[in-house]
Amino acid sequence: MPDRFWHQTAAIARRDLDRERRSGEVAWITIPFGAIALLLVPLAVGINQDVLSRIGTGMLFVVVMLFGVLTAVRRTNMETPAQRDAIALLGVDPVAEFAGKAMASAVLLLVFEVLMGVVALTLYGLDISEWGWMTLVLPLTAIGLAELGTISGAIATSINAGPALVPLLVTPLAIPLLLGATQTVELGRDGGNLSWLLLMAAVVLSLAIVGVLTARPLQETR
Amino acid sequence: MATILRNVDLSVAAGESVGLFGANGAGKTTLLRVIGTLLRPSSGRALVLGADLDGWERFDIRPRLGLIGHTPALYPELSLLANLEFSARITGAPIEEAGRALEAVGLGAAAQRLAGEASFGMQRRVEFAREIMLSPDLLLLDEPHSALDPSAVELVEHIVAGVLERSGAVVLASHDVDRVASMVTRTAELTGGSLDA
């Protein structure tokens, strides 16, 4: 890959992260929202430690997926047509644009996952020693959801459908990631299960390929 | 799909500045977007900077084009300087050029102001600064005088003169013939989607 590609990817990611830092949407809206969502479940099902520890990991990833959808919707709203034109005329490689946006989303998602993980460990009484697989599962989930959100946002923009379409695209396609994440962690307690992790890796790789192949046509039709 | 333009025949030589006139809805912005590779013509042939707009080479010429449209394309959460630095990083221009370009448009002191807190006129000046920094071979201006004070109008004239000095070309769309007359070497009028050059 030429240097120009990486410079453009880094510039796009930096821009998106700077915009998020200034708007404070993740820090002040989404993180508290996620924490409250995790808090509501014990209130609803009762403080039964066995039940909570059984559903804790699953709840964490449900909240993460909801945040992934919110991030994707936000991404779709973030750029005006004039900004999209300006980006195109700067000569941005569409693949670099996809990679930069997905990278920024993945960083935000990873931060969110770690913080929500701490909340889930505290509220659901989970055993951190059983979370060894999380070091692989969390980044894979973040990257996969980020790719999915970026592609869905680009599709919604290109067909002028608006952000309403994004959750409809992201949610069903995120199911393999969600299943892979929860099953890897759950089965990991009994000595590990590589097949679910491989499924996640395959999904992440497939989405990366789709993102690369569709980047140019989606940039052109938006 | 509605036909916006038809029978448009326009050639612009290096060192030339063409004023594109016409009433609201005549198709000036559409024609600028076609020339700027942002819209593909449904028929006919368009060559810009030697590239056929129907082929993949249209992507290669984009960094050589500059377009200032109706709406500023700045990111409101970033400072004026950060907006320009972003353009520099994408195109590979030296980062320090961003500060110099802001000085050149009289916004050196406002460099750290957020674009979202800057006036429309200031945002337009930043867009002019971007074109100074990137030195396009073909500059497309859509109603460049809107929301500008007299000193900024001089700035537009200066930028147009700079492009022509480098043997670049300018296409400038406006409905106000008098205001842009001093900046153009030739005029063309769009009426009902047709061009009368």
Q: Where are the domains of chain A?
A: 3-221
Q: Which residues of B touch A15 (CB under 8 A)?
A: 75, 78, 86
| Averaged pLDDT of chain B | 89
Cβ–Cβ of A88/B62 closer than 8 Å? Answer: yes
Radius of gyration of chain B (CA): 17
3 state SS of A173: helix
Cβ–Cβ of B90/A8 closer than 8 Å? Answer: yes
Kindly give the pairing relationship between strand B47-48 and strand B51-52: antiparallel
Of A4, A19, A86, the CB nearest to B77: A19
Q: The tokens of B6 are what? A: 């038809």
Counting other chains too, the contacts that A201-210 makes at CB distance below 8 Å and 24 or more residues apart are: A201/A140, A203/A144, A203/A176, A203/A177, A204/A140, A204/A143, A204/A144, A204/A147, A204/A177, A207/A144, A207/A147, A207/A148, A207/A151, A208/A147, A210/A147, A210/A151
d(CA B126, CA B134): 12
d(CA A183, CA A162): 34
Interface of A with B (CB under 8 A): 4, 7-8, 10-12, 14-15, 18-19, 22-23, 80-83, 85-92
Cβ–Cβ of A90/B71 closer than 8 Å? Answer: no
d(CA A134, CA B127): 46
Cβ–Cβ of B77/A11 closer than 8 Å? Answer: no
pLDDT one-digit tens code per residue, A55-104: 888 899 999 988 888 877 777 777 888 999 999 999 999 999 999 999 99
Q: Is the pTM of this model over 0.90?
A: no
Go through B136-171 and write b for each residue having 16 or more CB atoms within 10 A of its CB, e for each that does not.
bbbbbbbbbbeebeeebbebbeebbeebbeeebbbb
Residue identified by tokens 């960094």 is: B63
Name the B residues in 87-126 with CB < 8 Å from any A CB.
87, 89-92, 114
ipTM for the complex shown:
0.87
pLDDT in tens, chain A (222 residues): 678 899 999 999 999 999 999 888 777 888 888 899 999 988 888 878 888 888 888 899 999 988 888 877 777 777 888 999 999 999 999 999 999 999 999 999 999 999 999 999 989 888 787 777 888 999 999 999 999 999 998 888 888 777 788 888 888 889 999 999 988 887 776 665 688 899 999 999 999 999 999 998 888 776
Options 2.40.70.10, 3.40.50.300, 3.60.15.10, 3.40.228.10; CATH for B17-196 is: 3.40.50.300
Q: Which residues of B touch A23 (CB under 8 A)?
A: 77
